[in-house]
Amino acid sequence: MSDTTNDPGYGRTAVETLIVGAIIITMDAARRIITDGALAISGDRIAAIGKRAEIEPLVDAKEIIDGRRFVITPGFVNGHIHTTETLIKGYIPENAGFEDGIWRWSVPLYELQTPAEQQLAGRLSALSMLRTGTTCFLEAGTVIALDEVFAALDETGIRGRIGQWVLDRAFSPDQDQTALTDRALRILEDELVRYPGGDGQRLSAWPLLIGHNTNTDALWRGAKQLADEHGAGISAHMSPAKVDPDWYLAHTGKRPVAHLADLGVLGENVSLTHMVHVDLTEVALLAETGTNVIHCPTAALKGGYGTTGLGLFPEMAAAGVTLMLGTDGADHTDMMRATTLMAGLFKDARQDAALFPAHQALEMATINGAKALGLTDQIGSLEVGRKADLVLHDTDRPEWKPLLNCIAQLVWSADGRGVHSVWVNGERLVDNYRCTTIDEERLYAEAQTAAKAITGRSGLSLVCPWPMI
């Protein structure tokens, strides 16, 4: 019989992976930043975290990674992304305007996609997110081929909440309003049954409404009831432009948030995206009901929503509204860029450099996103027992040297191009800048072919200010 006391691993906790020597931004309750740190992964969870000298003697790892060149953060949470828009990247004219951009360009280009093309788009979105440090996302609600997109996303290993395109308002007198609403509710219930959450699933369905003025009161009430019954959340677009409050005031006599509050459909499992054109009464209602707000700073700037002049995001934060960040459309999926913008927009708009410091913007990209998605006990911070969703940022790059202040440099100097490795659910999905679950070259080629086919079928010509010869 062998003497186990002579075994160097005797008495240690067995883990799959141990990363040693890194700077770890934990985002835990104390907001600890651990220098010369160590993080151990066992299964899909973080098994140990702390100073290297304390952790290394306690674990027996199959793989030890030298982390001295890395800053480790929790995976980012993208609160709003149209995962099937990546195949029309750059095609919607910059000056199309809000309504023209949606109804003349975006919607037709979505509806022209085949299920196979939607799969490609979803896969490309997942790759774009993973390669820039996003480990969890909330779909914006414009997926048409839900089963195909779900399957594609599942293969990549990313974490997310998705749902099918749902709108029900009859804008034409020949449409049967009751039938439209009943159909929409059946879609929502069916997806929740087929893709349930609540048991630690990486991917599950949420009722995702298009929002604006496209959903009736009956659908809002039904969707909220379904979300509550299934332990899910609900999300919708609202008030990026003046057209939304104008419509609600004309048709209900109240602004959008006040009307939704009257319906009883706000709450901690509800997230509203954009929310630029709101007033202080709406801010108070958001805070009172615990409703979350998703800000997409890049989309707001590109769309000319007026966020810097009109946005009440500092007031929302002061009132206790949970703010999370999203990237929105196809132009980019880099949450680090969104975080930089969030840290800067309102400093300039209000001429107050104290607004949204780097550490607060980072909270919006991590723990606030986890809270809004009902995943606080699983992701958003690096703690023992949390899911092993983490990112290694490579500091052997010019934007990181010299490394003096990891929070400031993460937000103000770095971006997603410095993401070296990514784990989701304990699985390494990005290794040395390459995705491990996706054939990147093949995907790029297929996406290029599909994008040309979609835009060709659309009859919408590329708008470019300079001649292409």
Q: What is the CATH number of the domain that holds 94?
A: 3.20.20.140
One domain, residues 85 and 125: yes
How far apart CA 29 and CA 434 sit, in angstroms, is 32
Task: Report yes or no on 328 lying in a domain.
Answer: yes
How far apart CA 36 and CA 186 sit, in angstroms, is 53
High-pLDDT (> 90) share of the chain, % = 91
Contacting residues for 180 by C-beta, under 8 A, at least 6 apart = 168, 169, 170
Rounded mean pLDDT, 36-48: 98
One domain, residues 299 and 414: no
Residue 332 has pLDDT above 90, yes or no: no
Rounded mean pLDDT, 281-298: 98
Q: Report CA-CA distances (Å) from 229 to 162, 183, 198, 224.
A: 17, 19, 11, 9
Rounded mean pLDDT, 156-169: 97
How many other CB atoms are there within 10 angstroms of residue 336's CB atom? 24
* 347 class by beta-carbon count within 10 Å (0-12 exposed, 13-18 middle, 19+ buried): middle
Report pTM.
0.96
Give me the DSSP letters along 294-344: EE-HHHHHHHT--HHHH--HHHHHHHT--EEE--BSSS---HHHHHHHHHH
Pairing of strands 292-295, 270-274: parallel
Residue 454 in contact with residue 87, Cβ under 8 Å? yes
Residue 330 has pLDDT above 90, yes or no: no
pLDDT at 100: 84
Based on DSSP, count helices (H) and strands (E) in the chain, helices before strands.
18, 18
Encode pLDDT of 390-431 as tens digits: 999 999 999 999 999 999 999 999 999 999 999 999 999 999
- φ and ψ at 71, to 5 degrees? -105, 130
372, 401, 423 - which closes a domain:
372
One domain, residues 338 and 253: yes
How far apart CA 410 and CA 132 sit, in angstroms, is 13
Task: Report yes or no on 458 lying in a domain.
Answer: no
335, 354, 372 - which closes a domain:
372
How many structural domains compose the chain? 2
One domain, residues 355 and 387: no
Task: Report yes or no on 354 lying in a domain.
Answer: yes
Cα of 283 vs its chain's centroid, Å: 22
* 187 class by beta-carbon count within 10 Å (0-12 exposed, 13-18 middle, 19+ buried): middle
Residue 72 in contact with residue 393, Cβ under 8 Å? yes
* 96 class by beta-carbon count within 10 Å (0-12 exposed, 13-18 middle, 19+ buried): middle
352, 372, 392 - which closes a domain:
372
Structure token digits, residue 229: 């019954």
pLDDT band at 5 (very low <50, low <70, confident <90, very high): very low
- Between 369 and 94, the more confident residue is 369
How far apart CA 95 and CA 3 sit, in angstroms, is 75
Q: Is the peptide bond before 196 cis (omega within 30 degrees of 0)?
A: no
pLDDT at 81: 97
One domain, residues 282 and 385: no
One domain, residues 162 and 237: yes
Residue 137 in contact with residue 78, Cβ under 8 Å? yes
- Our CA angle for 261, 263, 268, nearest 5°, is 50
pLDDT at 8: 52
Task: Report yes or no on 114 lying in a domain.
Answer: yes
Rounded mean pLDDT, 141-151: 97
pLDDT at 9: 56
Encode pLDDT of 182-201 as tens digits: 999 999 999 999 999 977 89
One domain, residues 361 and 421: no
Residue 36 has pLDDT above 50, yes or no: yes
pLDDT at 102: 83
Residue ranges making up the domain that contains 20: 4-74+381-434
One domain, residues 70 and 100: no
pLDDT at 10: 58
One domain, residues 307 and 388: no
Task: Report yes or no on 166 lying in a domain.
Answer: yes
The candidate with the shortest Cα–Cα distance to 317, out of 275, 265, 266, is 275
pLDDT at 2: 32
Residue 7 has pLDDT above 90, yes or no: no
One domain, residues 117 and 143: yes
- CATH at residue 46: 2.30.40.10
How far apart CA 427 and CA 160 sit, in angstroms, is 15
Check residue 393 and report its DSSP letter: E
Encode pLDDT of 187-246 as tens digits: 999 999 999 997 789 999 999 999 999 999 999 999 999 999 999 999 999 999 999 999
N-to-C CA span, the chain: 79
Average predicted confidence (pLDDT) for the chain: 95
One domain, residues 303 and 423: no
